[in-house]
Chain A
Amino acid sequence: MPLIPQPAPLAGGALLARLHAINAEHGYLPEQELRSAADELGVPLSQLYSTASFYASFGFEPRGRHTIQVCQGTACYIRGGDKILEKLVAVLGVKPGETTDDRLFTLETVYCVGSCSMSPVIRVDGDTYGRLRADRLPRILRKYRPAEEQEA
């Protein structure tokens, strides 16, 4: 018998699943949500925070409406993924990890989305674009810009 009663261990994968659920709803992990999750799961907030901050999929800042992930996997890298990234940085005016001022796009790099045969590749939200060339990027981005902005 431990001197201090221990909470029952969580079911396998339960903590990650909870973090994913918060992330899916908000696009990031707001502090208030983490606090309530810690209470409900019966784990210290510090454990939740240490886990969440370990993984690349979770962030603590609000994101743009669309997330652009530029694949930097090996195949993409040797087939020009770095140029795609450079072009996007120039077009959007933000660095990887940053969000545009109009909060429309968050630019990220990712190590491999597993579409290596189509390299270079980017993913915007859930959509993957393969066999890319930098000159196709403006057309792809246009699909995600609101209609009124396109007319302006």
Chain B
Amino acid sequence: MKVRTRSDLEKLSAEGRATLYPSRLKISVGMATCGLATGAGAVYNALCDEATARGLDLALVATGCIGYCQQEPLVDVRTPGRGRVLYARVTPDRARDLIAALVEGELPTEGALAAIPEEESLTGSEPAQGFPLLDELPFYTSQHKVILRNSGLIDPVRLEEYVARGGYQGLARALELAPQAVVDEVTCSGLRGRGGGGFPTGRKWQICRDAPGEPKYIICNGDEGDPGAYMDRTVLESDPYSIIEGMVIGGYAVGANEGYIYVRDEYPLAVERVTHAVARAEEAGLLGEDIFGSGFDFAIDVVRGAGAFVCGEETALIASIEGGMGEPRPKPPYPAIHGLWGQPTIINNVKTWASVSAILARGADWYAGIGVEGNTGTVVFSLVGKVANTGLVEVPLGLTLREMIQNIGGGGLDGKAVKAVQTGGPSGGCLPARLFHLPIDYETLTEAGSIMGSGGMVVMDEDTCMVDVARYFLKFTMDESCGKCTPCREGTRYMHSILTRIIEGEGTPDDLADLEQVATWVKGAALCGLGQTAPNPVLSTLRYFRDEYEAHVSERRCPAGVCRALIRLAIQPDLCTGCGICKRECPAGAIRGEKKEPHVIDPDLCTRCRLCHDVCPEGAIEIVR
């Protein structure tokens, strides 16, 4: 069926509701990459086999990511009339027990994380009784889902389920407005680029709309390259239609009929899902020719990247689509005027497009009411690293870092004190715990020496060495520098060599001044965003954690016990039981000892990787700083 009218859309929606809220038992397994990485595939098979063996009638579906990755694999059980319950950390054995209980008509409390409140208007049912509500868990209370509105709740393959949860209402409304009115709507919402730059989206669209030249293009930047971040992957995998809908709206608004979704090569499932969604949307008349019977045409191609971080920079990404090396070029002219093949082009991040479809559906005023003035709406962070609750978190702008890390994240891992948080990936900086009262918004994070970025948020504790972290990021930018401009190519290499010297215990106080000077030069002189922001990890750690640098330089000491040249490992004989685990696991074969006798480490063979320290069940291995 081709969707021509709103009533056609309603028919699709009814089909979606039938599978979203079936009259029989339904079990959904979170099978985005995170779920699969922790064994969701085996859980799915166990559920399937056990249900078949016991003759249990159910709908078993794979869904996307609901965000609480710490608790994966997650299984969502919906019993008609009894609501939905989410089970956490499910193993194949637990999956079989779950089926056994369901056969008996029971909803087990063991392993249950929470009840998912259903959409009252759609199903009219009450939440499952006897379980905490999902929205009331500390991980979820401060969250506000706009971009992730469907993630983990729909089958990402099924267009009908996207429509049943309000999908394509935004496009339907946009096509009833004049294109300029659509641009105005986005402008009034206050939406800013969610890729990290924070440029007002409506203004970018206006520039492109007003720019002379035909054809114009729309690009979705899904080249999520920041290490430690996976927001875009999740949206691409879990709710691809929300992006596609946003792009069609953008095309209509600026007068473009062609678009590209550029997805990072490291995300095979995202490529697959989004490619399927493009084909399905075309089949339904929601993409391609005469969309919605409006006479407006818009086509989308999916381009798979090839493992180059710099392609996340918009001009490099454009060069990559054109078939060349992904090298950036100087701006201006900006892509909104001179983009793909020299034509006016809108390039926005995955999360920006997913926000656009919601803004058009619910109105600019609704969106502008979320967040704070000048920083409206929501942002998605991947909260990872040394934090108790890892996962994808969507919050209104203006929330403080403390609320994010302590309340949602549940504080440090294993009860350790959080020392710093890193936002913005290799372009961002490390902020110390004493600044956690700061609100999360574009300007505040920039002033503090970091950036909002695309949404990476890596928590660090007392066992993280900030000098090592700075060197890690410089190694990254050095490896990923495209080499086109000298300040970035040579500057990152130079800074990396100084940092390496420092962590090897050969730094001098002059090195710190030198590092600061070169960092400042690179920031000012590099060609593109990658180079201009590459010094941020260095400058922010020098600003907030100078004592750690000085300990390395003056005392030849790594306070966190990380830098290999400055530590040694020792087995405490009174604690060692001689179990032999460390001896077995040591990659260097540096541990000797008889069974049940205290072991010893040969310092000449030991590479100080600290693996023995991690695996020792007795805590007998000491890091001597």
| Residues of chain A whose beta carbon lies under 8 Å from any beta carbon of chain B | 9-17, 19-20, 43, 47, 50-51, 54-58, 72-75, 77-80, 82-83, 86-87, 89-91, 110-119, 121, 126-131, 133-135
Q: Does B476 contact A (CB under 8 A)?
A: yes
Q: Are A13 and B37 in contact (CB under 8 A)?
A: no
Query: A56 CA to B36 CA in the complex, in Å?
Result: 25
Say yes or no: A20-B304 contact (C-beta < 8 A), given A77-B472, A115-B34.
yes
Q: Are B33 and A115 in contact (CB under 8 A)?
A: yes
24 contacts between A and B (CB under 8 A): A10-B322, A13-B262, A13-B301, A16-B303, A16-B323, A43-B323, A57-B306, A74-B228, A78-B469, A80-B614, A87-B585, A90-B587, A110-B307, A111-B479, A112-B227, A114-B264, A116-B382, A116-B385, A116-B458, A117-B70, A117-B382, A118-B69, A118-B390, A134-B614
Closest to B581 in A: A135
- Enumerate chain A residues within 8 angstroms of B585, measured Cβ to Cβ: 87, 134-135
The A/B interface has a contact count, at CB < 8 Å, of 191
Q: Are B587 and A56 in contact (CB under 8 A)?
A: no
Q: Are A110 and B266 in contact (CB under 8 A)?
A: yes
Shortest Cβ distance from residue A142 to the other chain B in the assembled complex, whole angstroms: 16
Query: A82 CA to B69 CA in the complex, in Å?
Result: 22
Shortest Cβ distance from residue A117 to the other chain B in the assembled complex, whole angstroms: 3
**Pick from B384, B476, B479, B584: contact of A75, CB under 8 Å:** B384
Q: Are B306 and A55 in contact (CB under 8 A)?
A: yes
| Residues of chain B whose beta carbon lies under 8 Å from any beta carbon of chain A | 33-34, 36-38, 69-70, 72, 224-230, 233, 260, 262, 264-268, 301-309, 320-327, 340-341, 382-386, 390-392, 422, 425, 456, 458, 460, 464, 469, 472-473, 476, 479-480, 482, 581, 584-585, 587-588, 607, 609-611, 614-615
Q: Are A83 and B609 in contact (CB under 8 A)?
A: yes
- Enumerate chain B residues within 8 angstroms of A89, measured Cβ to Cβ: 587
**Pick from B69, B227, B302, B581: contact of A74, CB under 8 Å:** B227
Q: Which of A51, A58, A73 has the most CB of B within 10 A?
A: A73
Q: Are B322 and A72 in contact (CB under 8 A)?
A: no
Say yes or no: A73-B227 contact (C-beta < 8 A), given A86-B609, A118-B37.
yes
Say yes or no: A78-B458 contact (C-beta < 8 A), given A118-B38, A135-B585, A135-B615.
yes
Query: A131 CA to B36 CA in the complex, in Å?
Result: 12
Say yes or no: A133-B267 contact (C-beta < 8 A), given A56-B308, A117-B382, A128-B37.
no
Shortest Cβ distance from residue A133 to the other chain B in the assembled complex, whole angstroms: 7
- Enumerate chain B residues within 8 angstroms of A72, measured Cβ to Cβ: 227
Given contacts A56-B307, A80-B614, A87-B585, 5 further A-B contacts (CB under 8 A): A83-B614, A112-B225, A114-B33, A116-B384, A118-B69
Query: A141 CA to B303 CA in the complex, in Å?
Result: 32
Shortest Cβ distance from residue A77 to the other chain B in the assembled complex, whole angstroms: 6
- Enumerate chain B residues within 8 angstroms of A58, measured Cβ to Cβ: 306-307
Q: Are B324 and A75 in contact (CB under 8 A)?
A: no
**Pick from A19, A20, A116: contact of B229, CB under 8 Å:** A116
Q: Are A131 and B38 in contact (CB under 8 A)?
A: yes
Q: Which of A15, A117, A121 has the most CB of B within 10 A?
A: A117
9 cross-chain pairs, A with B, having the tightest CB-CB distances, nearest first: A74-B228, A117-B69, A13-B303, A56-B307, A55-B306, A15-B323, A130-B37, A73-B227, A114-B230
Closest to A74 in B: B228
Q: Are A114 and B224 in contact (CB under 8 A)?
A: yes
Query: A132 CA to B130 CA in the complex, in Å?
Result: 34
Q: Are A51 and B309 in contact (CB under 8 A)?
A: no
Query: A112 CA to B479 CA in the complex, in Å?
Result: 14
